[in-house]
Structure 1
């Protein structure tokens, strides 16, 4: 009976974790470059008081499926079609992102909405010449090729640093749009993604599928709650009856 109660409690903990991941996905439906959370479960054997017990442990994985590329016409908006991440630097830390809604800061550096500087092969991408061309009355022509090469008025400036991760399970989520890896040796410049200028990638969350998951989690959680209550009542009756002898 105790084992049954423990199993119900464990199932409720697993379902609670799954519901948290689903809620986070739904909260970020409109977050550009967001990659949804996927829950899966690993079975572990554990020895407790000489008995072998099988435990189900919830694990979280990042869903790296491609999101829809939305056209904007903004020359600073960039989307990745395929694998890979942009690298940005904020507060001295390198982070990875799929959110390519960029702009120029007052100093002419290419940055994202949080002010993190976009990294190129030569470091921080400096496009201050863009402002100088405007000051000269010239209409600057900014072109970013599919391989990430940045050209201003047909003059190559730098190349976006696009990276991939050898083992995606090493990705650690930092907020809704950023990822980091503990060991940067896991990063590689070998990726198949191409840059789409004038586009940004929408989040890859499917609202209908997430709503279905949320309803199923709720039903299963309530079912486990009822089963736990029944097991507890049965245990209480058994204890009361035994106490009479």
Structure 2
């Protein structure tokens, strides 16, 4: 296999992974609090003996864009959005995880849970249960929860650095350890955070990646044809 084909295959492998990321971003464009992913390619020049230097490019990794999405007013009392950094804490199967999806609800026992039924945590990492017979629920800018005007809990907002976060499925994140409460939480009741995905930008990325993939396929075809012609010429001598 020639250097040209080798480089093209490596590049196409990275482009396939980028296409998967783009497809996942588009699929989650309407998912509350979703954070988009992007590929990181590295390109450098390689000196090839007896030939001109060749440009090499390959996928070197990916990153998650943690920038905030736009807020959408819902006026639902249990919908909450975080202003600035931070994550809500939830418990799934005994594990403390993070999310930016603040679409909460009450279960049959009066516990505050996510749309998937996972317990929402307070600032100390414990579950939040509303007092029986609660009528009006209000959530202050600092996350203080009041039931019929009486404060009884504080919604947990936890800090995390991008380097410690890994996706845990279901729009959840793992911070790899004990959750640390944000010292200055700011939330807005009656709002949800949209995904930070622009479908137009993702479609532009998709078209560009597809064109680059096709260019790699054409390069491989041309190189195979060149080698075939060379072998036939040598065989006629």
Q: 1:184 aligns with which of 177, 186, 201?
A: 177
C-alpha deviation, 1:38, in angstroms = 1.4
Structure 2 residue 12 is matched with structure 1 residue 12: yes
Who is 2:169 aligned against?
175
Structure 2 residue runs without a partner (length 5+):
46-54
Going from structure 1 to structure 2, the CA distance change for 1:43 and 1:172 (only over 3 Å counts) comes to farther
Q: 1:71 aligns with which of 70, 73, 80?
A: 73
Q: Is the CA contact (8 Å cut-off) linking 1:77 and 1:199 kept in structure 2?
A: yes
Query: What SS is found at the alignment partner of 2:121?
Result: strand
Going from structure 1 to structure 2, the CA distance change for 1:57 and 1:86 (only over 3 Å counts) comes to same
Q: Is the CA contact (8 Å cut-off) linking 1:100 and 1:200 kept in structure 2?
A: yes
Query: What SS is found at the alignment partner of 1:61?
Result: strand
Q: Is the CA contact (8 Å cut-off) linking 1:84 and 1:191 kept in structure 2?
A: no
Who is 1:50 aligned against?
none
Q: Matches of 2:183 and 2:69 in 1, distance apart?
A: 17
Who is 1:33 aligned against?
33
Query: What SS is found at the alignment partner of 2:58?
Result: strand
- Matches of residues 51-200 of structure 1 in structure 2 within 5 Å? 56-122=58-124, 123-127=126-130, 129=131, 131-133=132-134, 140-166=135-161, 168-181=162-175, 183-184=176-177, 187-190=179-182, 193-200=185-192
Going from structure 1 to structure 2, the CA distance change for 1:215 and 1:193 (only over 3 Å counts) comes to farther
- Note the aligned Cα RMSD (angstroms): 2.3
Who is 1:207 aligned against?
199
Which stretches of structure 1, 4 residues or longer, exceed 4 Å deviation after superposition?
42-45
- Matched pairs, number: 228
Q: Is the CA contact (8 Å cut-off) linking 1:42 and 1:59 kept in structure 2?
A: no
Going from structure 1 to structure 2, the CA distance change for 1:145 and 1:44 (only over 3 Å counts) comes to farther
Moved more, 27-36 or 230-239: 230-239
Structure 1 residue runs without a partner (length 5+):
46-52, 134-139
